[in-house]
Structure 1
Amino acid sequence: MRLELASVLLCSLAFAVAEDTSRCPGGFIKHGGACYWFSRIKGTFAEARSYCQFLGSHLARITSKDEDNFLRSHATGTGKSYWLGAMDLGREGAFMWEGGFPLNYTNWTPGEPNNLSTGDKLELCLILYRHYDHEWNNVDCGSAENFICERRVSGCCCSK
């Protein structure tokens, strides 16, 4: 894991451990029944997944147009692409959210998902792609991108 990513993990430990799960942790933004954290650091898909797990969350799973619009509106203007929690492991082009959840809602960039591998099988993962107004795109899971963590809340009264 990159030194920068490891340093941020250690610095976040004190805040993550003491958080109340009925509220959004510091740095997370509330929307609906979930809290979202937009990274300022980059990592591979595997590093991003580990970071989110460390924060008691998972890579974001978009399940509705409302949720997609919310995340895209926060991503717009950052100049960054963001990992989401889906990949095509197992069967190229057949994306699933982590945990085996199907993609019942999608917002792919026109022509996506495409087959990026030309001979060598690449594992492809889902990003909000900055070059296409943060619509969905598939890229090599080993590339370094920013990421969005999602965490469900157990209470009714989350604050920003």
Structure 2
Amino acid sequence: MEKMNFDDAVKTCTDMSGRLAVPTSFTDNQFIFEMVNKVVGLNGKVWVGCTDREEEGTWVQFGEGGEECSFFNWYPGEPNSYPDEVCAQMILFLNGSWYDGHCDRMCYVVCQRPAVAPTNPQLYCLQADTNGRFA
């Protein structure tokens, strides 16, 4: 798993027809935390696709539409209003709690993208006869 800054993470996810993962529930947050923890352990941070770059205190999903983030897992005292801390990070050693941090920090990246519908949704199952032939 590779680390990168926030803007490179956004570009990487966009290039894969996705976006930075944005948990919308505690269950989503735990899924991301557990998935990354299995790969890298508790020593690290993961970008969350929420930022308040445009307006301090208004956390929106980065990218098209700027939809407001609806779920937060802030660590006590976060987010704070330190200058230039405008990108949300999940802290692994704090069990997936979030900090607001500098966007130039190096964090792990989890992208999400919509499920792709099968190109041929019609499936057929055939059963072989006792001789192994399909009718």
Structure with bigger gyration radius: 2
1:111 aligned to 2:72?
no
2:34 to 73, 79, 89: 73
Deviation of 1:84 after TM superposition, in Å, equals 1.4
Identity of aligned residues (%): 26
Across the aligned residues of Structure 1 and Structure 2, the Cα RMSD in angstroms comes to 1.9
Q: Which amino acid aligns with 2:81?
A: N
Deviation of 1:78 after TM superposition, in Å, equals 4.7
1:83 to 47, 64, 88: 47
| Structure 1 gap ranges (5+) | 1-39
Q: TM-score, normalization: structure 2?
A: 0.76
Deviation of 1:130 after TM superposition, in Å, equals 2.4
2:57 to 81, 93, 97: 93
Question: For residues 151 and 78 of structure 1, what CA distance do their matches in structure 2 show?
Answer: 25
Question: For residues 110 and 69 of structure 1, what CA distance do their matches in structure 2 show?
Answer: 18
Correspondence for 1:102: 68
Q: Which amino acid aligns with 1:54?
A: D
Question: For residues 74 and 107 of structure 1, what CA distance do their matches in structure 2 show?
Answer: 17
Deviation of 1:75 after TM superposition, in Å, equals 2.5
1:31-70 equivalences under 5 Å are 40-70=1-31
Deviation of 1:123 after TM superposition, in Å, equals 5.1
Equivalent position SS for 2:106: coil
Equivalent position SS for 1:101: coil
Q: Which amino acid aligns with 1:142?
A: D
